[in-house]
Structure 1
Amino acid sequence: MNAAKNAANAADRTPAELLRSALAADAARPLVTYYDDATGERVELSVATLANWVAKTANLIQDELAAERGDRIALLLPAHWQTAAWLLACAAAGVVADLDGDPAAADAVVSGPDGLERALACPGERIALSLRPLGAPFLAPPEGFTDYARAAPAQPDAFAAYDPPGPDDPAVVVGGRELSGGRLVELARADAAARGLGPGDRLMSLMGFGTWEGVSAGLFAPLAAGASVVLCRNAERLDEAGRDARAASERVTHFAA
């Protein structure tokens, strides 16, 4: 069974295909476990749950933002489970996710609370994420923005791109480096192999999403390997004993810091 699952995964050439293979292999297994050590939040998302958020977000991108293949969305977001959903949704819709990109040069912008003032420079649609526990909405939606937590749940649970992207289409810009969907998958597989990640492994990442290394460790390498990630934000607030206890409770097998 594992060999068959791995063979199907080896044929994937885009991030959307990686997620589809993960769903087919074991939709119920944990994929992203998120901690915020500033708020005490812990959220665990199975493959199916994350895929549902991805579908709703991709529908929001395609139908509400009217974004087309090749458009760019600046993501002013930290390492967070909702950022993972946006990265995969942009890839599914054929839209380029520009992490910490220039809002003024983007077709749309998605921002957390810390980036709202900067995001106002975007001439297109603006989406705001509260990043509150459990994906709660803003208590008062920021002026000039659509509240993601109010807009996304109304979207369909299944997504089909009007103009599906291929492996040669650009998918993400991180640290000023643009990667096509195919190149992203290749690098994620290479990173997973270098870390020794395999099906069932659990990688605990303390890295941000400002570099490819952080984005790979925090999402794409575990996804490509059939593994899962324990994504920790504000982990500097956690002492060594706390990190060791978390690693033990989460059955962590690999680390990225």
Structure 2
Amino acid sequence: MNATDRTPADLLRSALAADPARPLVTFYDDATGERVELSVATFANWVAKTANLLQGELSAEPGDRLALLLPAHWQTAVWLLACASTGVVADVGGDPAAADLVVSGPDTLDAARACSGERVALALRPLGGRFPKTPDGFADYAVEVPSQGDRFQPYAPVDPEEPALIVAGAEHTGAEVVERARAEAAGLGLTGPGSRLLSGLGYGTWEGLSAGLYAPLASGGSVVLCRHLEQLGEDALAKRIESERVTATRRHAS
């Protein structure tokens, strides 16, 4: 990654320029058997489309707060980087009533209705599938995002010193996210390109976000992000670590 990268969106652009074909996020849901692998290029395309949805269709502006009511999931990672691309503050698990807009999974729709602004729902179905019936009061992400543009340009440059992320009540600027992720990468076993971290942590803490997205991105590595990892037996986990060429693991919060 480049020393001049100041925001998570900068990190993604550098990763795309360096090696667009390498894996970035490999996602498993051990409750459903789902596996999705996204290269840097594929992930960046999802981010661009989502950022265009945010800025264009949802009229989100820099500094707006987005309550992100999603679990650790590849689509959550996409939304985090889309927020970083537009200057929108991603408030992970935040109060929808205090947010300008909300993005919700299928299990938090009732809580999300407290948001008076735009509401987006994700079914979190395999292959990014849509809801059988769009929830009342929400736009279905899987319906809205495919038609968005593959390239994104913010209306105004994103200020790395402005708030970018809120997690567990703590606010971080874009620059702080990048600096902290870089500083923590080696301690997570991410020593550079080719490093591959398996994370079973949720996204509700900085530790989970760092292991599950930001540190792999900042170090040129990749993440095997596992939801419901506790349902996987030790033998199956060992096979996954071998087959996915995992070089480090973070299964439990420290």
Do they fold alike, i.e. is TM over 0.5?
yes
Distance apart, 1:191 and its partner CA = 1.1
- The CA deviation at 1:195 is 2.2
- In the alignment, is residue 219 of structure 1 matched against residue 213 of structure 2? yes
Give the equivalent residue in structure 2 for 1:244.
Answer: 238
**Pair 1:124-2:117 in alignment:** yes
Residue deviations 1:93-118, cap 9 Å, x none? 00000000000000000000011000
In structure 1, how many angstroms separate the alpha carbons of the residues matched to 2:159 and 2:38?
Answer: 27
SS across alignment from 1:10:
coil
Q: Which residue of 1 aligns with 2:201?
A: 207
Structure 2 matches for 1:91-170, cutoff 5 A?
91-170=84-163
**What CA RMSD, in Å, does the superposition of the two structures yield over aligned residues?**
0.7
Q: For the Cα contact (< 8 Å) 2:188–2:250, is it kept in 1?
A: no
Which of 82, 87, 90 matches 2:80?
A: 87
C-alpha distance in 2 between matches for 1:103 and 1:163: 26
| TM-score normalised by L of structure 2 | 0.97
Q: String of CA shifts for 1:190-229, please: whole Å, max 9, x gaps.
A: 1102223111111000000010000010000000000000
Q: Which runs of 5+ in 1 are unaligned?
A: 1-5
1 or 2, which has the higher helix percentage? 1
Aligned length: 250
CA distance in 1, matches of 2:247, 2:184: 15
Unaligned runs of 5+ in 2: none
CA distance in 1, matches of 2:74, 2:128: 9
SS of residue matched to 2:225:
strand
For 2:188 and 2:73, locate their aligned partners in 1 and report how far apart those are by CA, in whole Å.
Answer: 22
User: What is the TM-score when the length of structure 1 is the normalising length?
Assistant: 0.96
SS at match of 2:146: helix
Identity %: 68
Q: Which runs of 4+ in 1 moved over 3 A?
A: none
Match of 2:170 in 1: 177
